[in-house]
Amino acid sequence: MNDDAQILIARLLANQTLRREDKLVKRALSDELFRADLDVRLAACGLKLLDNVYADHVALALVRDVEPKIFGARDAWQNNNFGLARDGVALLVVLWALIVLPKRERQEAHQNAATDQDDMFGKEKPMPRAEDASTGISFKALLADFGDKLGKKTRMTMNLGQLAKLGFVEMKGDMILEGPLLDLMMDTDMLKERIVNGALSDIFRRAPDDTDAQLLTHSE
């Protein structure tokens, strides 16, 4: 007989992501006993639930200790396990910096994307959802600023298509918007520290190398 934890895991495996407003996801995020049962079942399969308050979705990922046993036979797994070329990984990191960091600043300030930045009562409002705080970036602007370093229009268009297919971004006309996985499957602590300290400025001055590619977490 199916139970709620089993159903939730099966739905996450089938759908890749689920929204935080989903009934079973809300239960997993608020019911400690249900979450403990869910975590035990996932851990038995080498999996974990990915969740952060800044993202509108949750997903599953491999636990770190299992990754070498699953991906170790593939030469590229230490960079990523999505089949992304190095310029694709670099593009992903740039998009994360341009889309997610400003979104998180607005969320922490309790401001929607359209909210007046001088709203003195912003802190009294609930933290907005990602879709309300995220603005995205124009492909034309991205191409003008980073095209020479990220493969020019043809390569960037190809990599964007792959990122969209994987769920990292969504394309609406010329706009590149946050996808369900962009704020879930990146190593936020490492990326933010590197960006704040200026280490990622190297991406904008030269072609990306393996060090940049490793900033993408393999499955979380």
Q: Residue length, the chain?
A: 220
- pLDDT for 1 equals 44
Please report, for the chain, the start and end positions of each structural domain, with discontinuous segments joined by +. Answer: 4-71, 86-213
Can you tell me the distance from the alpha carbon of 202 to that of 217, in angstroms, rounded to the nearest whole number?
19
Q: Are 101 and 200 in contact (CB under 8 A)?
A: no
* CA distances, 208 to each of 39, 97, 139, 203 (Å): 36, 15, 20, 6
* Residue 102 backbone zone (phi > 0: left; psi -120 to 50: alpha; other: beta): alpha
Bridge partners, 101 (sequence order): none
The pLDDT tens digits of the residues spanning 113-128 come to 766 555 545 556 778 8
* H-state helical runs in 31-85: 32-44, 67-71
Query: In this predicted structure, which of 30-44, 94-108, 121-135, 147-161 has the lowest mean pLDDT?
Result: 121-135
